[in-house]
Amino acid sequence: MTCAPVPYRVVRARTETADTVSLTVAPAGPSGLPPFAPGQFAMVHAFGAGEIPLSTSCIDGPELTHTVRAVGAVSAALCRLRTGDRVGMRGPFGTGWEVDRAVGGDLLVVAGGIGLAPLLPVVDAARAAPHAYGRLNLLVGARAPADLLHAHRLCTWATSPGPPHCLVTVDRPAPGWRGRVGVVTSLLNGARFDPGNTTAFVCGPEVMIRALARDLVHRGLPPHRVRVSLERTMHCGTGHCGHCQLGGVLLCRDGPVTGWDRAAPLLSVREL
């Protein structure tokens, strides 16, 4: 038995792509949940549909933004919500990116697909304290140009000197696309970082995380400075339902963000 959700009100619902919506929610009553750190997640309840774990793509005081792709019954229900609708929220759960521990070094933020969402608060945190960090790189990959999330922000960043130094690539170009085509790892050569003094923040499909983390370690980043956010089924957020196990790691408790030093041996075993 866990604490019941806290009601939140949808303040804005912005369509990102054909199947993805950014929902900004604020406490419906006088009090909300404790503050979220970038990388932590909430269990978000869509009335009558169910509850799913969602990380935050923007943290603005008590207002939280979740970028949701409609892939199942609950996420589809959340994507249908309009301004003024209500959701239930529990959290914050799990480990965060711990951006503070990267102070003094270069930052490499690497996102694949919807993986950009939980990384945007890292970019926001680094941009809010430009003197605390070295160079800020944002490498983004998507399936196709139409799947790029927060396209207007990416467009602005990619065409300006930054920070962030932003590079974007797609797997499949579309008519009119004049950017790069290829996997996100191909962007590493264009990134500006000193491998001996860099922290990487990586989120995306597992196959991308594996390829990218191995490449970064090969380039000289210590594995523990490659921070990855992993995904497994979750029903509770409190370490009790057992679904999010990845070997000895309970991802809702010991993750979702973990160092590559811990993740590498687990992600190298098929179907673990």
Partner 1 sequence: MTGSRTTAVLDRDGLDALVGTLRALGRTVVGPTVRDGAVVLAELSSADELPFGWGTRVEAGRYRLEPRADGAAFAHTTGPHSWKAFLHPQRERLWSADRTADGGLSYTEEDAPQPSYAFLGVRACDLRAIAIQDRVLTGGRYEDRGYRERRTGAFLVAAECTEPGGTCFCASMGSGPAAEAGFDLALTELLDADGHRFVVRTGSDAGEDVLARLPHRAADPRADTAAARDAVAGARERMGRAMPPVDLQALMGASLEAERWDDVAARCLTCGNCTMVCPTCFCTTTEEVTDLTGDHAERWQRWDSCFDLDFTHLPGGPVRASARSRYRQWLTHKLSTWYEQFGSSGCVGCGRCITWCPVAIDITEEAAALHDELADRLRRQERTEQER
Residues lying near partner 1 in the complex (CB under 8 A) are found at 1-7, 28, 45, 47-51, 71-72, 84, 86-88, 205, 231-233, 235-236, 238-243, 245, 247-250, 253, 269-272
Nearer to partner 1, 103 or 241 (CB): 241
- Closest distance to partner 1 from the beta carbon of 128 (Å): 29
Alpha-carbon torsion (174, 160, 97, 13), positive or negative = negative
Nearer to partner 1, 4 or 128 (CB): 4
- Closest distance to partner 1 from the beta carbon of 229 (Å): 14
Write the CA distances from 70 to 45, 81, 106, 107, 137, integer angstroms. 14, 12, 34, 30, 29
Helices (H) and strands (E) in the chain, counts: 6, 16
- Closest distance to partner 1 from the beta carbon of 205 (Å): 8
E strand spans, 113-263: 136-142, 165-170, 180-181, 198-203, 226-229, 245-246, 249-250, 257-259
- Closest distance to partner 1 from the beta carbon of 198 (Å): 29
How far the first Cα of the chain sits from its last, in Å, is: 28
Q: Which two tokens stand for residue 24?
A: 């900004």
Nearer to partner 1, 172 or 243 (CB): 243
Nearer to partner 1, 18 or 269 (CB): 269
Nearer to partner 1, 95 or 137 (CB): 95
- Closest distance to partner 1 from the beta carbon of 86 (Å): 4
Judge whether 171 and 195 are in contact, CB under 8 Å: no
